[in-house]
Structure 1
Amino acid sequence: MEFTNKDSFFTKLQAGQGQPFVIAGPCSAETEEQVMQTAVALQQQGVKLFRAGIWKPRSRPNAFEGVGQQGLLWLRRVKQELGLLVTTEVATGRHVEEALKQEVDVLWIGARTTVNPFAVQEIADALQGVRVPVMVKNPVNPDLALWIGAIERIYNTGITDLAAIHRGFSSYDEAKYRNSPLWQIPIELKARYQGMPLIVDPSHIGGKRELIFPLTQKALDLGYDGMMIETHPTPDLALSDAAQQVTPDALKSILARLQVRKATYDDAELVNRAEELRLQIDAADHEIIAALAKRMALVEQIGTYKKLNNVQVLQLERWKEIFRSRAEWADEAGINSAFVEELYKLIHVESIRKQTQILDRD
């Protein structure tokens, strides 16, 4: 897949070259008055693309699932009276047809739909021969292949004005965020498809309005192209996702605080200094790889020793000791202990694999 920023829809949303664009509006279109009130406030702030959910696929029944087709008429009014572009989520081929009939400018595919290739293909079939920008949210589970697959299905219809929305990934663990960011997954997507815009959805990642600013700032620091932030005139009274929505005034404050970093160094001396540091990092990485090779050689020796003495691979007390002591060593060295724990999980899994391989040899 090839994407070019020149003359793309999302490039035109930017206030200036290299500036992130803003997509804002309520989680759900609830009433015509609420939609118009929000849109007027956002237009005054210079927001160009207004979002609102019309059909709201929920995890469980008996919750507010959107106003449906009548909400499209409210979006059309936003376009006609305020000159804003509008976008909404589609989950079926019929949704696509109804949205396009009411001249919705941009469609997005939600996380619960992205996870289902059959549903995405139905949407792709409805988009055949249509030239409308499409945004694809990551699937609810951390599966890069599913995310890429959904993007490919839309791309194969001939649509190249595509963007990816990072809204975080579901987790069973209790955590700070509603959906775990797992930044490495969208970063990998961005590395593969450099011309495709990457948009952060801090509302869904954080699940709390106070987390919107730090999450958005981190995304901008990572080179994201835009943000989608849920905005509601009275968030606490919202019919869906009340805790993660902000007022238009709060959005204005958030946007004013954000810092946009330069993409590259603009001074020759800084470039040279950065290159020196990168060379030192490369040298340190060589040392890390050499140390890992030495460790794995020792793992092979102990695997052979276990085989000779008919001892099982997994020694649970040793496993516990490694995770306890390495985390302590990390704290003493001023390194994030949680990072070291994750690192040693990978190292230990590889150690078990190598020892099991030795025990299984004839």
Structure 2
Amino acid sequence: MELKSWYAEEKPWIIAGPCSAETEDQMMETVEGLVKQGFSTIRAGVWKPRTRPNSFEGVGEKAFPWIKQAKEVFKVKFAIEVASARHVELALQNDIDILWVGARTTVNPFNVQEIADALKGVKDKPVLVKNPVNPDLNLWIGALERIHQAGIQKIGAIHRGFSTYQESIYRNIPLWQIPLDLKSRYPELLLICDPSHIAGKRDLLFEIAQKAMNLRYDGLIIESHRSPDEAWSDAAQQLTPANLKLMLDKLQIRDLTIASAKLQNKLDQIRDEIDETDKELLEVLARRFELVKKVGNYKKEKNVAIFQLERWNAILKNRPEWGEKLQLNPDFVKTLYQSVHDESIRIQTDIYNE
């Protein structure tokens, strides 16, 4: 997939607006508030795929006259989610400026291909693809490839976090390394963060948005409503236009490169130390897995099951505690040891299969 840089305006690109288009008054007042705060690209949900039935699933085609009116009055661009060929057809008929493919659609290659087929012949509309619900980089790349193969040149990715069964402060855990891996493979790909759907609540929005800026994301797509507490969907994660502007004004936008040779030399020196520390870390891991092999051979000899629940529960309890004493994030330590445990199970399984 060969991509070209296409967004030439000042970054970060901010796409802001309500989770859902609810009523004509709500749309017009929210857009007016956003325009007064300097925003010019508006998002709004026309169709809302919900996890469970009987939730508000958007007003559908009824929203298009409101969007048209807002575009004419306030001279803004509009972005909406599309989940089927029919959605694409209606969006194009109603001159929607930007389309995005939602997380629940990205997981299904058949649905993505249907959307891609409907987009063939479209030249100037940006199409953004949200990460799939579950952490699967190849699935995300596959969706982007299908849209690209349809002839779309203005293509981008939206990082909105990933579902997890684990307890978390986030609505969707960020797993920052996945979008960074995507960006490293496709440096020209426009990468946008969706703090609203990662956070799920207002008090985490700034933290996530700043992290995205620290990582040099190209923009943010974020939810804003005239009266967030009265929103028909996702009320807890929306801000008023004025509060959104206040939050974004506090963001520090990082430089992409280091201009000073002295600063670059210092950075290189620290990175050399990191490289040496990583080598030591890998040597320690190698020693640990050698011990795992000894354990596996002993269990096999004594006909003992590989998985020992009490031992695993003890590790889950005390390793984060040990890490915290070393000023390490306990959640990180827990995640680290889950990966170590998975590899330990694999090693011992291979021993049992010999």
Query: Which band: TM-score by shorter chain?
Result: over 0.9
In the superposition, relative to structure 1, how do residues 23 and 158 fare at CA in structure 2: closer, same or farther (>3 Å)?
Answer: same
Give the count of matched residue pairs: 353
Superposed structure 1 runs of 4+ greater than 6 Å apart = none
Structure 1 residue 87 and structure 2 residue 72: aligned?
no
In the superposition, relative to structure 1, how do residues 60 and 305 fare at CA in structure 2: closer, same or farther (>3 Å)?
Answer: closer
Instruction: Choose which of 132, 155, 161 in structure 2 pairs with 1:162.
Output: 155
User: 1:347: how far off?
Assistant: 2.0
Deviations 1:178-229 (A, max 9, x none): 1221222212211211111111111111111222111111111111110111
* C-alpha contact (below 8 Å) 2:158/2:194 kept by paired residues: yes
CA distance, structure 2, for counterparts of residue 276 and residue 194 of structure 1: 25
Secondary structure of the corresponding residue to residue 274 of structure 1: helix
- Which residue number in structure 2 is paired with residue 3 of structure 1? 3
* Identical counterparts, % of pairs: 54
- Which residue number in structure 1 is paired with residue 234 of structure 2? 241
Structure 1 residue 21 and structure 2 residue 13: aligned?
yes
- Which residue number in structure 2 is paired with residue 115 of structure 1? 107
Letter in 2 for 1:161: K
CA distance, structure 2, for counterparts of residue 59 and residue 348 of structure 1: 32
In the superposition, relative to structure 1, how do residues 324 and 98 fare at CA in structure 2: closer, same or farther (>3 Å)?
Answer: closer
Instruction: Choose which of 331, 338, 342 in structure 2 pairs with 1:345.
Output: 338
Structure 1 residue 282 and structure 2 residue 279: aligned?
no
User: 1:91: how far off?
Assistant: 1.2
Q: TM-score, normalised by structure 1?
A: 0.92
Letter in 2 for 1:263: L
Letter in 2 for 1:141: N
Letter in 2 for 1:196: L
Structure 1 residue 260 and structure 2 residue 253: aligned?
yes
CA distance, structure 2, for counterparts of residue 323 and residue 136 of structure 1: 36
Secondary structure of the corresponding residue to residue 328 of structure 1: helix
Secondary structure of the corresponding residue to residue 69 of structure 1: helix
CA distance, structure 2, for counterparts of residue 67 and residue 318 of structure 1: 52
Question: What CA RMSD, in Å, does the superposition of the two structures yield over aligned residues?
Answer: 1.8
In the superposition, relative to structure 1, how do residues 25 and 319 fare at CA in structure 2: closer, same or farther (>3 Å)?
Answer: closer
* C-alpha contact (below 8 Å) 2:37/2:242 kept by paired residues: no
Deviates more, 1:345-354 or 1:230-239: 345-354
- Which residue number in structure 1 is paired with residue 188 of structure 2? 195
Deviations 1:244-276 (A, max 9, x none): 111111111111111111112111111001101
CA distance, structure 2, for counterparts of residue 302 and residue 67 of structure 1: 59
- Which residue number in structure 1 is paired with residue 54 of structure 2? 62
Deviations 1:5-61 (A, max 9, x none): 2xx2x333x2xxxx3111011111112222122222222222121111112222222
CA distance, structure 2, for counterparts of residue 308 and residue 70 of structure 1: 69
CA distance, structure 2, for counterparts of residue 285 and residue 174 of structure 1: 29
CA distance, structure 2, for counterparts of residue 33 and residue 348 of structure 1: 54
Deviates more, 1:308-317 or 1:337-346: 308-317
Q: How does 1:169-184 map to 2 (within 5 A)?
A: 169-184=162-177
User: 1:331: how far off?
Assistant: 2.6
Secondary structure of the corresponding residue to residue 240 of structure 1: coil
In the superposition, relative to structure 1, how do residues 345 and 226 fare at CA in structure 2: closer, same or farther (>3 Å)?
Answer: same
Letter in 1 for 2:334: E
In the superposition, relative to structure 1, how do residues 223 and 301 fare at CA in structure 2: closer, same or farther (>3 Å)?
Answer: same
User: 1:63: how far off?
Assistant: 2.4
- Which residue number in structure 1 is paired with residue 43 of structure 2? 51
Secondary structure of the corresponding residue to residue 165 of structure 1: strand
Q: TM-score, normalised by structure 2?
A: 0.94
Deviates more, 1:64-73 or 1:322-331: 322-331
- Which residue number in structure 1 is paired with residue 221 of structure 2? 228
Secondary structure of the corresponding residue to residue 174 of structure 2: coil
